Structure 1
Amino acid sequence: MAQTSIWQQILDQPNRADPYPLYAELRKTPVVAAEDGSYVVSTYRDIVALLHDPRLSSDPRHLPDLGADAPTQAPPEGPPELPPNFIRLDPPEHDRIRRLLTWNFGPPHRPGRIDSMIPNMLEIVTSEINDFASDDRSGTTRVDIVDDFAYPFPVTVICQLLGVPRDDEPRFQAMSDAVIKAADPTTGGFAERRRRQAEANAELGQYFAQLLDARHGQPGDDLLSGLLSGDGPDAPMPPEEVLSNAGLLLVAGHETTVNLITNGMLTLLRHPEVLDRLRRGDEPDLAARVVEELLRYEPPVQFLSNNRNTLDDIEVAGTTIPKGSMVTLVLAAGSRDPADVPEPDRFDPDREHNEHLGFGGGAHYCFGAPLARPETQIALTELARRLKNPRLVADPPPYRPSPGLRGPRHLLVEIDGVNPAC
């Protein structure tokens, strides 16, 4: 079977539940030329090298003329296009914007911001699990871990962090869905996806512009207010950059965490011995180790698709990727590379070596990692501790369409009740 067809199988919806055997086949040829002309890299060491290689750009404006892949018609009238957000830029512009965001986000400049949110995270999780309690005399309840828990929890947290009204969730979720669909490599050509992504980002920017106008002169203790106040180096951030990066943080701040929590609960239910250990609560660092292993074993972001391009010819594993080529880094395949991880297909939170790619690497290492880690640790610990006899209704569950941002669309679980909160 040709390697290009293996990549196409990975993109196909029927293989969403378990792409890992296909990743193993893909790694046999570390660099593959895909049907769309891009190059797919799947081994750990090659991915790490490219994540740190300045010849691999994150700025799509470096790409050559897309020719036949260009949109066949002008985009419809709508909100004006915003400047690229910081993950679509290279140093030094990327570094300037990231410094400003980091200064107002949390550690090391605001070390208390995320720590101060942890009690509220626990309160949100406690309230959501309390709602699982059933009035049914049989005591058996069916819950959807996605809709009833893993989605509303990080949405509430990111809204509080940014200063976004939680009641606006239906509005911004539609825009978030559009951003994710535009990045899906199975939905049209690259140029068309870029056009749709620009439109979706512009709509998010328009939403934030209205939000900030309504709050004019009434700053709060949130990240957006911090960016607008001019605090920190390189401040203030230009308003149009605030809008483009606020939209990114809103989408990325909950979509990936939803998948991480859901993939985590699914994995724990498939490994009841680890679930029992987490439930007992006599290993203080177990939750942290579980989350790190999940980031390696079942990462929410499977690959970085068509958001890297080469500024020069780059030789990788004996293959020359030409200048001006799009590159896909298959993080999930790299994190299960047996050349780097012993028994990579075994879920083992006790493993000593765990240098995963779950948060990417290099200059674009996941900005939200300091928030996603405690969110997921709290969520999985409380689910393990409080749910009585949880069991899967369907395995595998139905999955979301995106092959890159991979996670169950629903995760139905039956429980025999809920233990009281401490």
Structure 2
Amino acid sequence: MPQASLLRRITDFANRADPYPLYEELRSTPVLHEEEGGPYVVSSYYDILGLLHDPRISSDASNLDDPGADELSGAEATGLPPSFLRLDPPEHDRLRRIANSSFGPPHRPRRIDSMREELAAIVAELVDGLGDSRQIDLVDQFAYPFPVIVICRLLGVPREDEPRFRAWVDPIVAGLDPDSRMEPDAPAQRAAQEARVQLGMYLAGLVEQRTREPRDDLLSDLVAGHGPDGAMSTMEVLSTAVLLLIAGHETTVNLITNGMLTLLRHPEVLQRLREEPGLSARIVEELLRYEPPVQLVPQRTCITDIELRGVTIPKGSRIWLVLGAGNRDPERFDDPDRFDPDREDIQHLGFGSGIHSCFGAPLARMETQLALTALARRLDNPRLAEDPPPYRQNAVLRGPRHLRVDVDGVLP
């Protein structure tokens, strides 16, 4: 039987626990194109960085053969317009400026930082809830509920509705996997579309309510609009809210979970974090390089012929940017397969770069720093119950589905 293509092996679930040897093989062909009509796969750090800033690379969903197939928020499947993640300038810039005016400077400069105390309280409550168990699942009991609580409170979702989001988020994220998208009528895709519709309908009701009765939350700000760009339309608010809920939740779940898995595999760093809470910022930056929650970006199209490493990528071709490979490129990082929070230079691709760099990066950083610091301090003698843990199907948003950890108890 002939060996499967390299790209097929990278997206194969059998290699989810450790794709990095395949990334090393991939970097030997910096621009990989295995079959006619297939994507051009780019894996070196400097090439990826350049393309993320290249105006000849489009994120517009209308340039794809299957618009919305790679949309992180899945907005198109609800009948909503694309979120700004899937638009090019100038429309992308207008919507992102409006969203930024509600998310941070200059109009809301302390919106995220002012949440620190509330976030720390949520973390403490979740750790307290681990109780006296001698084995805990850090995904189900901590990493999954924490970001969804945070993003719901940021948007202004009523607390009694927070548990409903997991039932919607799970199938939507499962439907993002490249393998599942190859069969549009597969059960995973049908479940994802139904969940998107339900989430969109729920948020439409919430937007209508905030239009009548604005509150001090992000959703009310998006409805009201600030600054010279005015307000978003109702449909644009819905697309942005869907993007924030899905992208802002799932990537942080994986960042926290990948982080604890890495620390448990490097107990000397875990011990340092217990003793030096201030180390958390450097640990998170190195994690974003070493085990990024977003492994690849499969939704780019070139709008003109592009020459790269002696290869002509024709106009209209799909381009996949493998961030996980670029983050371990030895041309950019010394000893790239070593986890080292003391690196002098950690200019990673974990949050992307360019105009589509991660909108929620400040919040994700704060959440993960608080989470890892609290877990390091309060879990008594934590150790992995299984290694590797079971992973999610998704090759784009990579992280363990469960992370079972044996402990001697939870410290006060």
Q: Same fold (TM over 0.5)?
A: yes
Q: Which amino acid aligns with 1:398?
A: P
Indicate how the Cα distance of structure 1 residues 370 and 391 shifts in structure 2: closer, same or farther if over 3 A, else same: same
CA drift at 1:172: 2.9
Instruction: Provide the C-alpha distance between the structure 1 equivalents of 2:192 and 2:88, rounded to a whole number of angstroms.
Output: 19
The equivalent of 2:199 in structure 1 is: 204
- Residue of structure 2 equivalent to 1:93: 91
Map Cα deviations across residues 259-316 of structure 1 (whole Å, 9 max, x no partner). 00000000000000000000012xx5410000000000000000011x1101011111
Return the offset for 1:227. Answer: 1.1
**Structure 1 gap ranges (5+):** 72-77, 135-139
Matched residues, percent identical? 61
The structure 2 residue matched to 1:369, chosen from 341, 361, 371, is 361
Counterpart residue identity of residue 89, structure 2: P
Distance 2:191 2:91 in 1: 24
1:185 counterpart residue number:
178
Q: Secondary structure at the match of 2:351?
A: coil
Q: Distance in 2 between matches of 1:141 and 1:248?
A: 37
Measure the CA separation in 2 of the matches of 1:122 and 1:116. Answer: 11
Residues 122 and 378 of structure 1 are in contact (CA less than 8 Å); yes or no, is this contact kept in structure 2?
yes
Contact 1:79 1:203 in 2 (8 A): no
For 1:45 and 1:201, the matched residues in 2 are separated by: 36
> In the alignment, what sits opposite 1:341?
333
Contact 2:211 2:220 in 1 (8 A): no
* CA distance in 2 between partners of 1:3 and 1:40 (Å): 19
What code does the residue aligned with 2:307 have?
E
Change (3 A) 1:153 1:80: closer
Q: State the match for 1:171 in structure 2.
A: 164
Matching residue's letter, 1:351:
R
| Within-5 A mapping of 1:14-413 | 14-35=14-35, 37-63=38-64, 81-134=79-132, 141-189=134-182, 201-281=196-276, 285-305=278-298, 307-413=299-405
Show CA shifts across 1:398-422 (max 9, x none). Answer: 00000110000000011111222xx
The 8 Å contact of residues 303 and 328 in structure 1, kept in 2 or not, is answered as: yes
Report the secondary structure of 2:17's partner residue: coil
- The whole-number CA distance in structure 1 between the counterparts of 2:318 and 2:293 is 22
Over residues 369-403 of structure 1, what are the superposed CA-to-partner deviations in whole Å (9 max), with x where a residue is unaligned?
01000100000001001111001100000000001
Offset at residue 132 of structure 1 (A)? 1.9
Deviation at 1:202, TM superposition (A): 4.5
- Once the two structures are TM-superposed, the CA of residue 4 in structure 1 deviates from its matched residue by 7.2
CA distance 1:342–1:120, change in 2 (3 Å): same
Q: CA deviation at 1:217?
A: 2.1
SS in 1 for 2:229: coil
Return the alpha-carbon distance in structure 2 between the equivalents of residues 201 and 265 of structure 1.
30
Determine if contact 1:3/1:26 at 8 Å carries over to the other structure.
Answer: no
Matched residues in 1 for 2:145 and 2:270: separation? 23
Q: Where does residue 7 of structure 1 map in the other structure?
A: 7
TM-score, normalised relative to structure 2: 0.92
Contact 2:290 2:337 in 1 (8 A): yes
Q: Deviations over 1:208-227 (max 9, x none)?
A: 11122344422111111011
Distance 1:4 1:334, change over 3 A: farther
Distance 1:65 1:255 in 2: 23
Aligned amino acid, residue 217 of structure 2? D
Seen in structure 2, the aligned counterparts of structure 1 residues 361 and 79 have a Cα distance that, compared at 3 Å, is closer
Q: Structure 2 counterpart of 1:145, which letter?
A: L
Cα deviation, residue 62, structure 1 = 2.2
Shift of 1:183: 2.2
Q: CA deviation at 1:108?
A: 4.4
Shift of 1:175: 2.9
Tell which deviates more after alignment, 108-117 or 400-409.
108-117
- 1:137 matched to which residue of 2? none
Whether the aligned pair in 2 keeps the contact of 1:100 and 1:237 (CA below 8 Å) is yes
2:182 partner letter: G
Query: What is the aligned-residue RMSD (CA, Å)?
Result: 2.5
Equivalent residues of 2:210, 2:220 under 8 A apart: no
Partner of 1:320, secondary structure, is strand
Gaps of 5+ in 2: 70-75
Q: Which stretch of the first structure deviates more once superposed, 206-215 or 36-45?
A: 206-215
Q: Distance in 2 between matches of 1:363 and 1:110?
A: 20
Give, as a single letter, the amino acid of the residue that structure 2 aligns with 1:314.
I
Q: 1:108 to 1:388 in 2, by over 3 A?
A: farther
Cα displacement (A) at 1:207:
1.7
Give, in angstroms, the shift of residue 170 of structure 1: 4.4
- Output one character per residue of 1:8-64: Cα deviation in whole Å (capped at 9) or x when no partner: 111111111000011000000011114461111111011011001111000121246
Distance 1:97 1:216 in 2: 18
User: Kindly tell me: are residues 263 and 278 of structure 1, through their superposed partners in 2, closer, same or farther at Cα, counting changes over 3 Å?
Assistant: same
Output the CA distance in 1 between the equivalents of 2:197 and 2:57: 26
Q: How many residues align?
A: 403
**Rounded Cα–Cα distance in structure 1 between residues aligned with 2:284 and 2:20:** 19
User: Whole-Å Cα distance in 2 between the matches of residues 16 and 302 of structure 1?
Assistant: 11
Q: 2:409 is paired with a residue of what secondary structure?
A: coil
* Residues in 1 aligned to 2:115 and 2:344: alpha-carbon distance in whole angstroms: 30
Listed one character per residue, the Cα deviations across residues 79-121 of structure 1 (whole Å, up to 9, x for unaligned) are 8611110000001100000000000012443121111100011
- Give, in whole Å, the separation in 2 of the partners of 1:3 and 1:245: 42
| CA distance in structure 2 between the aligned counterparts of 1:419 and 1:26, rounded to whole angstroms | 44
Structure 1 pair 200/326, CA: closer, same or farther in 2 (3 Å)?
Answer: farther
What displacement does 1:231 show? Answer: 2.0
Tell me the equivalent position of 1:75.
none
Equivalent-residue separation in structure 2 for 1:163 and 1:301 (angstroms): 26
* Structure 2 SS opposite 1:111: coil
* Equivalent position amino acid for 1:164 in 2: V
Cα distance in structure 1, aligned partners of 2:264 and 2:181? 36
> For residues 12 and 296 of structure 1, do their structure 2 counterparts lie closer, same or farther at Cα, with a shift above 3 Å needed?
same
Contact 2:379-2:411 within 8 A present in 1 as well: yes
